[in-house]
Structure formats: C-alpha cells, structure tokens
Amino acid sequence: MKNPSLADPEFLDRVALDEELTRVFEKCHDCRRCLPLCPSFPSLFDAIDGHDLEASRLTPVETREVVDLCYQCKLCYNHCPYHPPHEWALDFPKLMTRAKLVQAKEDGLPWADRIGAQQDRMGKVSCRTAPLTNAAFKNRAVRLLMEKTTGIDRRWPMPEYQSRPFSQQLDRRDAGAVHAERVILFTTCFVEYSEAETAWAAVQVLEHNGIGVEGGYNACCGAPFLHGGDLENARRNAQKVVAHLAPRVRQGLKIVVPGPTCSLQLKQEYPELLGSDDALLVAENTMDLGEYVFGVAVAKKLDREFPKRIGKVAYHLPCHLKAQNIGFRSKQILGLAADEVVMVEACSGVDGTWGMKARHYDESLKICEGLIDAIEAAEPDRVATDCPLSALRIEERTGHKAVHPVVLLRDAYGLGPGGEESL
C-alpha cells in the first residue's frame, strides 16, 4: 500500500516498509529534484548509483544512512510535486519517520536517544538546580560526560535554565485585567524551562492588544520521541497534551504556540498519532504565535503604534513554519514595526535534537552556513527567528542574540521585560 497511515498495521511491517522504500527511492532517483535540500538525498542517490541504478539493491546499512541523515525539516514534502493527493502519494519525511520507527521496533532505541528526548524530566530537574546546572553546562569535563551519555555534542550551546518554569511564574502573578478574548499559550518545553522571555513577551503583546493569556503547558509535545523512533512515548505525550487542551478548546479558546516544531506537531502529527476526535479538535484550533498575531492584525485589532525603533531586522524563517503553508506571518508582523526586514530562508541544521548530536554535529554546521552568511550579510540591528533552537545556533555562530519576533514587537511597543525579569 502506498503511504499507509500510522493506524494501518502495514505501517510498522518490515516487508511493507522495504517495498515502499524501494518504490519511493526509485521515483526520487529518477527525479533528483531534492538533491540540494539535505544530506539524505545525495547519500541515497550515491548508493543507488553504486548498485547499477537499482534501488532494490540498497543494503540495510545504506538505507539506514539515508534515514539517519534525514533531520525532519519537512522541506522535501512541499518541494515534491508528487505528494498527496498526487496518485504517487510520495511523503518522504513520513517515510523516514516510519523507517526510524521500524528500526526502533527491531533493534530497540539507543540509550542516548531515549535520554535525549526526555525534555520534561531534564527541564524540571534543571530548573530546580538552575545555578548548578547552568554552571555545569559550561564545564568541559561535564560536557564530555554528557556527550558520552546523551549524545549531545560538547560544542552545542546549551540554553540557560530558569529557576522557575514559566507556568509557575504565570500562576504567581496578579490576575490583572479581565479580557473578553482569551487564548491558551502552549509554551513548548524550551520556552517553559529556559526561554520565559518569549512567553512573557507573548503575554505582554497579546494583553496590550486586549487578549488574555492562559497557561497551557503540561507536557512536551512529543516531537523528539517521534523523530527519534519512540512511538509509545510520542503517543503518550500527545495523549497528555490533548487531554489537557481539548476541554478548553471546547470552551472556545485557541491554542497559540511560540515554536514552529511544536505547532507543527500539534497540527499535523496529533490526528494521525492518536486518530481521535479530540486530537483533530486540538489540531484544528492550534496556531503558531506569529500566525495568530497576524490574524489579530488582519482583524484590525492590533495596535500599530510602535513608539520604539527596532531598526533593521534579519528574520530567519524556520523550516517547520514553511512546512505549515501559512505564509510569512512573522515577517509581515515585523514589517509593521521595523525599518526593514530581511527574510532569510535557510535551514539552521538543528531540527529538534538532530543537529545537537555529536554524530551529526559537523554535518549540521555545514547545513547552517547559508543561514549564517545571510544574517551576517544583512548587517542587522536585531535578529529574529520563531525557532528557539535556531536562535541558539545563530547566536553561537554570529554573536547576534536572536529572539522570537514577539520579543521585538514587545520592544517596539516599549513594554520592556515582563514577568519575573521585571521584578
């Protein structure tokens, strides 16, 4: 069967998978359109060339290499003219995820991948011990040990953990004004544990425009589990998040997400992962934060008076926003407040945990070269990206602090840091 869904028993069947891999690999080899997109395609085409152009003769090691080099940026899906509803129904990213899941079913998951995907466990412990953890992450011996146990490269710029997760910070503040319109902020694990500035900026900007914000984070969206091949935990996390959010969506609230990998996960993966009405309800009512703010502007409810200058902005469009086919919403919003916005459409090579891993780190640095060069060439006053992991990479490589676009909007309104930072 072509491109079966996760619910189909064929999805995790090795024989069916191998047939589908051969079918898709043959089509891709004939087409070659995705050659420049990522290292996965060159590796595939070289392997097929080495077997007299017969995709069916790829060895398991060669296939595994193609799968391992896919970092789920999803760019090849939209790039491919043969994706569904075309009769060939090619979905290369989904096929790579499927192959990872089958591999994990057969061989088990590597210890490092299992540990590396435990975002909540790591986030909660790191917040509780923030001063110690943050200092430890700067220690070379600790980073070497971490590389051995979790697979995270010693060079990866670990984020600074806050001493209190954002949801707890939000619970402690005065309720303030009551707003007729409200949204749920699904902060994402990254923002929840180490980037509260983005969440507070979202609260400030939305409240400034008459929209109340409720906390909505109860668990990581599960993307690292899915990308790593851990179907059971990916489903478990999706179930937790959906159970938490669906009843509030039924009360009329939208879910707003300040992270494109996570918004993509809720929108696109949950319905297939869970196959439930509630998952569909959550998916249909989830919006990326930039997408939501743009909607507020379109409805003529966004204050367009920006008393502070933010100058020239280099804006990085993350792959997982592109994959959502929602247009360039953050760029358009920034355009209301900035002197100039230079949009950079290039991959940061991080994509979840793929680019942090020691086994991919050098490849990941090569992938991000275009992004880094374009940001430097723009000579910006400020740098923005919706993706918090890309922000770490941009800062590491350019020295520019990259922030979520909503932080620049906050600054343009002259609102200053919010939440615990303002105390």
Residues of this chain that bind ligand SF4 (CB under 6 A): 27-28, 31-34, 37-38, 40, 70-76, 79-80, 82, 90, 92-93, 96, 119, 188-190, 220-221, 223-224, 259, 261-262, 265
CB of 266 to ligand SF4, least distance (A): 9
Select 42 or 335, whichever has its Cβ closest to ligand SF4. 42
**C-beta closer to ligand SF4: residue 5 or 78:** 78
Q: 63 or 265: whose CB is closer to ligand SF4?
A: 265
Report, in Å, the least distance between residue 397 CB and ligand SF4. Answer: 20
Nearer CB in complex with ligand SF4: 380/388: 388
Cα-Cα-Cα-Cα dihedral sign, residues 127, 131, 136, 139? positive
Nearer to ligand SF4, 71 or 361 (CB): 71
Q: List the Cα angle 419/215/285 in 5-degree steps.
A: 135
| 199/218 Cα distance (integer angstroms) | 15
> Angle of helix 405-413 relative to helix 289-298, nearest 10 degrees?
50
Q: Which is nearer to ligand SF4, 27 or 179 (CB)?
A: 27
SS3 state of residue 88:
coil
- Residue 33 CB, nearest distance to ligand SF4 (Å)? 4
CB of 230 vs ligand SF4, minimal distance in Å? 12
Question: Please, which residue, 118 or 332, has the CB nearer to ligand SF4?
Answer: 118
DSSP class per residue in 110-155? -HHHHHHT-HHHHHHHHHHTHHHHHHHTT-HHHHHHHHHHH-B-TT
The strand pairing partners of 257, in sequence order, are: 288
Token pair 């490589």 is found at 397
Using DSSP, state whether 314 is helix, strand or coil. strand
Closest distance to ligand SF4 from the beta carbon of 204 (Å) = 21
Instruction: Compute the least distance from the CB of residue 377 to ligand SF4, in Å.
Output: 24
Q: How far apart are the first and last CA of the chain?
A: 59
Q: Which residue lies nearer to ligand SF4 by CB, 101 or 221?
A: 221
Taking the least distance from each CB to ligand SF4, the nearer of 219 and 302 is 219
Residue 253 tokens, joined: 């609230």
Beta bridge pairs of residue 287? 256
User: Cα–Cα distance between 367 and 60 in angstroms, integer?
Assistant: 25
Smallest gap from residue 105 Cβ to ligand SF4 (A): 20
Tell me the three-class secondary structure of 154-197, residue by residue: CCCCCCCCCCCCHHHHHHHCCCCCCCCEEEEECCCHHHHHHCHH
Q: Are 59 and 92 in contact (CB under 8 A)?
A: no
Q: What number of residues does the chain have?
A: 423
Cβ at position 227, least distance to ligand SF4 in Å: 9
CB of 210 to ligand SF4, least distance (A): 28
